[in-house]
Amino acid sequence: MKKWITQKGTEIYQLLSVRSNVFLVKSNQTTALIDTSISLNWNRLQRRIKKLGVTKIDYLFLSHTHFDHAGNAAKIREKYGARVIVHHLEAENVTTGQNRLPVGTLYYSKMIIQIFETFFKKNFGYQPCTPDLIWNHQPIFENRELDWQIISTPGHSIGSMSLVVDHEIALVGDAMFGMSKNSIFTPFAEDVPQLVATWGEFLKTPCSLFIPAHGWSISRAKLEQNYSNYTQKIIHL
């Protein structure tokens, strides 16, 4: 199980990978789960949580409400007592379990979305979940010793948000894609210029590492290079 530790001692565990990354953050006796993967991964997710000896989760942080991130939200809330945090612009999605498919940004991803919408759209809903904490830029975490910051990171979806841990590591959801050696560009996004602007917002933080929901961690240097490249592309559109 992959693990990162900040200078302040906060532990970040990667519980699931491949289909969708899921992370558990532990600090000052507070635990937060970052996303939940698809419903088919429920048993695997439970086993990984149990392996860490965790029986109570304080928060479930949803980077956004697509089915591959919120698929097990209701079960996590029920089994572990987690308070579910969701962006106010996507609260209705998780409440109804209705999932709007993202927009393809590349030729192949546009084709994938077209096929999914034609043949498999009914498979992209999930069990409805009642959000406990609807984030609209207000402080969320009760433990004042925590150095965790929620930031709005739209582009992939309108209500995407990320968690900055101890000013060192950002858990970024689908704001970046970690499957390519050189590119962090996501194959799915509702608003590409807004997505690139979000990368600029990440660079305003002191974070040195950015961990996405798909693929591997991304260095600050790689983010800087992609931000420069895609900013120029957008300017010349």
Segment 99-139, tens digit of pLDDT? 776 766 554 555 656 655 555 555 578 999 999 999 999 99
Sequence ranges of the domains in the chain: 3-235
Cβ neighbours for 202, distance < 8 A, ≥ 6 positions apart: 153, 162, 170, 172, 175, 210, 223
What is the model's pLDDT at position 125? 85
How far apart CA 200 and CA 149 sit, in angstroms, is: 17
Q: Which of 95, 103, 90, 82 is nearest to 188 (CA)?
A: 103
What is the model's pLDDT at position 118? 53
Q: Which of 154, 122, 124, 120 is nearest to 137 (CA)?
A: 154
Contact of 151 with 197, CB cutoff 8 Å: no
What is the model's pLDDT at position 107? 45
* CA trace torsion 27, 62, 51, 17 (10° rounding): -120
What is the model's pLDDT at position 28? 82
The topology under which CATH files domain 3-235 is: Metallo-beta-lactamase; Chain A (3.60.15)
Beta bridge partners of 133: 85
What is the model's pLDDT at position 98? 83
The residue behind tokens 């809903």 is: 125
Secondary structure (3-state) at 35: coil
- Counting as low any pLDDT under 70, the low residues of the chain are 101, 103-123, 235-237
